[in-house]
């Protein structure tokens, strides 16, 4: 009886500690509006990428034939528009890769950040982050969205589209390797929302990426598409449900069977040491709990929690910029203004 009593006390004490920790997190979020959690101490590294997955994203590199024009001359960099037809395309329709390249002045090789756009609206948010990184001495490539990729109605193409998104960015990096003023041993990726989902995929499958910021993103893409409360996604989803006479749960089950190219699938193979996650605690557009699930499957990388929803996270705009820059400076070993030091 005494032993059971002590065991019960220990169990109650354990629950008490959990409640205290949760309360401290809530208080910290309420006071500061955000909280930083470092990477888990017990992280042992990623699992090796299975050969089958590696082969499915392998192709013969070909130097692309590009069309280029100068968009503008800015202080510290030149903005160039680069276009080419990808040599490797698994989709049943053709497309062109269009990139905005923020070409840093000077001949010394500099690190580069790929900025991956959000799903809807203009490229204004992505362009603003691209300009910010360029002004801090990074070359930047913003790979434009493909309009055809946004079509939720063609469910049978969804997995191929996600795979081609990864392949498009791999081929963008192939082009970067032809540029003498780019240090392709120091590549970062940055994305918010759908851009964050893309950055998780590219970070997992592209070994040339050394650092990735995955913001307001999640795993389990079928769930996100089926249950997101984003107005644009809901509008397209309702059309699909009506046209194909599906329930939301039936749509989720169908997408789950069709989509395997998903951050949650590749999370165990992603090196959590090169990832910074940013999650919004009240996000319903990209459901927060699916962001937590991705974080855990990945191995609990360093994470910033925002006391906001998906769109109200814009209140943290400058904070996100600062933290992303600090992360890239550390992982890519760059000081402000482009000065480089030896990484530790």
Q: What is the pTM of this model?
A: 0.85
3-state secondary structure of 142: strand
User: Could you write out the DSSP letters of every residue in 44-90?
Assistant: --PPPPPHHHHHHT---------EEEEEEEETTEEEEEEEE--S---
Contact 81, 100 (CB under 8 A): yes
* Residue-wise pLDDT tens digits, 240-283: 999 999 999 999 999 999 999 999 999 999 999 999 999 999 99
Mean pLDDT lowest among 14-23, 109-118, 145-154, 159-168: 14-23
3-state secondary structure of 108: coil
For residue 147, CA distances in Å to 96, 119, 144 come to: 11, 10, 9
For residue 10, CA distances in Å to 1, 4, 22, 98 come to: 14, 10, 18, 60
Burial class (CB in 10 A: 0-12, 13-18, 19+), 10: exposed
Mean pLDDT lowest among 3-7, 50-54, 158-162, 317-321: 3-7
Burial class (CB in 10 A: 0-12, 13-18, 19+), 251: buried
Q: Does residue 337 surpass a pLDDT of 50?
A: no
User: Given the structure tokens 């205290």, which residue do they identify?
Assistant: 20
Q: Does residue 20 surpass a pLDDT of 80?
A: no
Burial class (CB in 10 A: 0-12, 13-18, 19+), 193: buried
The pLDDT value given to residue 63:
84
* C-alpha atoms less than 13 angstroms from C-alpha of 189 in its C-beta half-sphere: 32
Q: Does residue 204 surpass a pLDDT of 50?
A: yes
* C-alpha atoms less than 13 angstroms from C-alpha of 268 in its C-beta half-sphere: 6
- Region label for 117, one of left (φ > 0), alpha (ψ between -120 and 50) or beta (otherwise): beta
**In CATH, which of 3.40.50.10490, 3.30.565.10, 3.40.50.1820, 3.40.50.720 is domain 39-338?**
3.40.50.1820
What confidence tier does 3 reach under pLDDT thresholds 50, 70, 90? very low
Q: Which ranges in 190-244 belong to alpha helices (H)? A: 194-205, 221-227, 231-244
How many Å apart are CA 157 and CA 155, to the nearest integer? 5
| Main-chain phi, psi angles of 215, to 5 degrees | -115, 135
Contact 278, 320 (CB under 8 A): yes
User: Could you write out the DSSP letters of every residue in 275-305?
Assistant: EEEEEETT-TTTTHHHHHHHHHHHT--EEEE
């Amino acid at each position: 009886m005494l032993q059971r009593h002590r065991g019960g006390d220990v169990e109650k004490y354990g629950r008490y500690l959990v409640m205290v920790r949760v309360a401290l997190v809530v208080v910290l979020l309420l006071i500061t509006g955000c909280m930083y959690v470092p990477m888990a101490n017990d992280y042992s590294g990623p699992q090796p990428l299975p050969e089958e997955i590696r082969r499915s994203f392998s192709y013969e590199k070909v130097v692309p034939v590009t069309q280029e024009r100068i968009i503008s001359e800015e202080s510290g960099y030149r903005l160039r528009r680069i276009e080419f037809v990808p040599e490797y395309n698994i989709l049943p329709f053709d497309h062109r890769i269009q990139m905005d390249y923020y070409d840093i002045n000077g001949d010394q090789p500099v690190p580069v950040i790929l900025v991956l756009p959000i799903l809807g609206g203009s490229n204004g948010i992505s362009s603003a982050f691209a300009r910010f990184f360029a002004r801090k001495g990074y070359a930047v490539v913003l790979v434009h969205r493909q309009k055809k990729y946004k079509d939720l109605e063609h469910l049978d193409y969804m997995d191929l589209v996600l795979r081609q998104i990864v392949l498009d960015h791999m081929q963008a990096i192939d082009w970067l390797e032809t540029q003498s003023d780019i240090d392709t041993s120091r590549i970062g990726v940055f994305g918010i929302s759908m851009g964050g989902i893309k950055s998780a995929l590219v970070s997992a499958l592209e070994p040339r990426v050394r650092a990735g910021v995955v913001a307001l993103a999640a795993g389990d893409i079928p769930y996100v598409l089926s249950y997101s409360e984003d107005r644009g996604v809901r509008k397209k989803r309702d059309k699909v449900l009506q046209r194909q006479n599906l329930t939301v749960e039936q749509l989720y089950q169908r997408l789950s069977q069709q989509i395997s190219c998903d951050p949650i699938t590749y999370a165990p193979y992603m090196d959590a040491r090169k990832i910074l996650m940013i999650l919004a605690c009240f996000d319903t557009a990209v459901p927060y709990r699916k962001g937590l699930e991705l974080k855990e499957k990945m191995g609990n990388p360093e994470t910033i929690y925002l006391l906001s929803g998906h769109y109200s996270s814009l209140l943290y705009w400058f904070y996100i910029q600062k933290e992303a820059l600090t992360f890239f400076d550390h992982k890519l070993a760059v000081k402000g203004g482009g000065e480089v030091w030896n990484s530790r």
